Structure 1
Amino acid sequence: MSASTLTLLIVGTGNVARALASRFAKTSHQVVLGSRDDETGQHVAKELGVRGGAATSFVAEADVIFLAVPFVNLSETLDGLGNIDGKTIVDCTNPLTSDYMQLTVGHSDSAGEICQRLAPRSKVVKAFNAIFAEVVSADMSFGAIAPQVFLAGNDAASKDRVAALVRDLGYDAVDTGGIECARYLEPLAELIIQLAYVQGLGTVVTPVILTASGASPDNH
């Protein structure tokens, strides 16, 4: 599936939102940045060289909506977007404690599943939650290995669309399964947070899944 000339609405003004907006702005896509209020959205968007303002004003034209907000603001953010029926929604959130050192949701639920329940007529894809904003914004090189973005979602067409966007950034997309697999992607995000901040590796690390040369995907 070609992902050319899509309109991408990045909702949020923090590090993740800024990183996604700045990187996608270098592709063929139209990028708009949305905030809760028009003035903040315009200010941050101007810094990044994209259009911006109140998120709700861009929903109708958006092909894909990225939720790059704190998990605690997820419900409020979705409520504020208005009619998102049928939209592809990329949930970039992680349910973290205020010090980022623990998850607040897990085992039998996830932020991704909560997002899908809050937006039942949208097509939610979990993605970009387990890659640091610094890796994205700085377009870091990892030699011959491309950074990976892990996807989870129930709608195959929406996952294909998001996977194509991932590849437009020069990354590899890894489909992990249905939206319930967000239960495993969110702990992965916490793992790299622990490596970065507790073990001192910094935010220049990113996880990848490697397949042995010549191995069949069906081999166990």
Structure 2
Amino acid sequence: MSYAIIGFGKIGQALAHAFARKNIDVTVASRQSPEALAPLARTIGPNVVAKSLQDALEADTIILAVPFGEHREVAKALSNWKGKTVVDAMNALVPLEELDGLPSSAFAAKSFVGAKFVKGFNHLIAATLATDPVVDGGHRVVFLSSDDEDALAPVEDLARQLGFAPIKLGKFNEGGWLVHARGRTWGQLIFQDLFKKQP
């Protein structure tokens, strides 16, 4: 399984730290050139490699860490997203009317034709997400939701590999609302820094 993070702002960098901590290879890309990103990527870890957007999108699992308004541009980079798992780590700070009344992930998923689309890694601030998720024997919780049950398994597996405790919330329009930022309204689980003992 190969991984890429699209967007290298605070959330993208926080996630890159999580991969580096576990020595898991990850590609990073953004609007900036790979050459511009490379020094920071190397600082985070030797397994964090900056590439062009097109090259990064060759990964099996792609984490979207771009501002919400840029997701359509990323989606246009591939004509067909079949076989890809896309993890939506974005928060849509736009009025609900602009999302056709849908949860932000359901709205964004329409642009990624053929992809398995999962909401995850969006409910914590970057500074928290960047720290070791294992504290006093507990694992920091990340919430996942998807309209495709099969899409959740590889993302759950990734979360566990990174040291997190994944908790499934169901479909976007069910438990997924709990972690969706929309307009000036925040889901009830956003900013909840919870830990779970692993069996």
What is the TM-score of this pair, normalised by structure 1?
0.74
Is the contact between residue 150 and residue 173 of structure 1 (CA under 8 Å) also seen in structure 2?
yes
CA distance in 2, matches of 1:148, 1:132: 13
Query: What is the root-mean-square deviation of aligned Cα atoms in Å?
Result: 2.9
Rg bigger for which structure? 1
Residue from 91, 107, 113 that aligns with 1:114? 107
CA distance in 1, matches of 2:54, 2:80: 9
CA distance in 2, matches of 1:81, 1:36: 16
Q: Which amino acid aligns with 1:68?
A: A
Determine if the alignment matches structure 1 residue 184 to structure 2 residue 191: no
Determine if the alignment matches structure 1 residue 11 to structure 2 residue 21: no
User: Per the alignment, in what secondary structure is the counterpart of residue 118 of structure 1?
Assistant: coil
CA distance in 1, matches of 2:52, 2:17: 18
User: Per the alignment, in what secondary structure is the counterpart of residue 148 of structure 1?
Assistant: strand
- Given the superposition, is the C-alpha separation of residues 52 and 154 from structure 1 closer, same or farther in structure 2, using an over 3 Å criterion? same
Equivalences for residues 1-220 of structure 1 within 5 A = 6-38=1-33, 39-49=35-45, 50-60=48-58, 62-81=59-78, 83-96=80-93, 104-105=95-96, 108-139=101-132, 142-181=135-174, 182-187=176-181, 190=186, 206-208=192-194
CA distance in 1, matches of 2:40, 2:73: 20
Give the percent of matched residue pairs that are identical in Structure 1 and Structure 2: 27
Q: Which runs of 5+ in 1 are unaligned?
A: 1-5, 97-102, 195-204, 211-220
How many residues of Structure 1 are paired with residues of Structure 2 in the alignment? 188
Is the contact between residue 37 and residue 53 of structure 1 (CA under 8 Å) also seen in structure 2?
no
Q: Choose between structure 1 and 2 for higher RCO, CA contacts under 8 A separated by at least 6 residues.
A: 2
Q: In proportion to residue count, which structure has more strand?
A: 2
1:46 Cα deviation from its structure 2 partner: 2.9
What is the TM-score of this pair, normalised by structure 2?
0.80
1:157 Cα deviation from its structure 2 partner: 2.8
- Given the superposition, is the C-alpha separation of residues 173 and 145 from structure 1 closer, same or farther in structure 2, using an over 3 Å criterion? same
Name the counterpart of 1:201.
Answer: none
- Given the superposition, is the C-alpha separation of residues 9 and 65 from structure 1 closer, same or farther in structure 2, using an over 3 Å criterion? same
1:114 Cα deviation from its structure 2 partner: 1.3
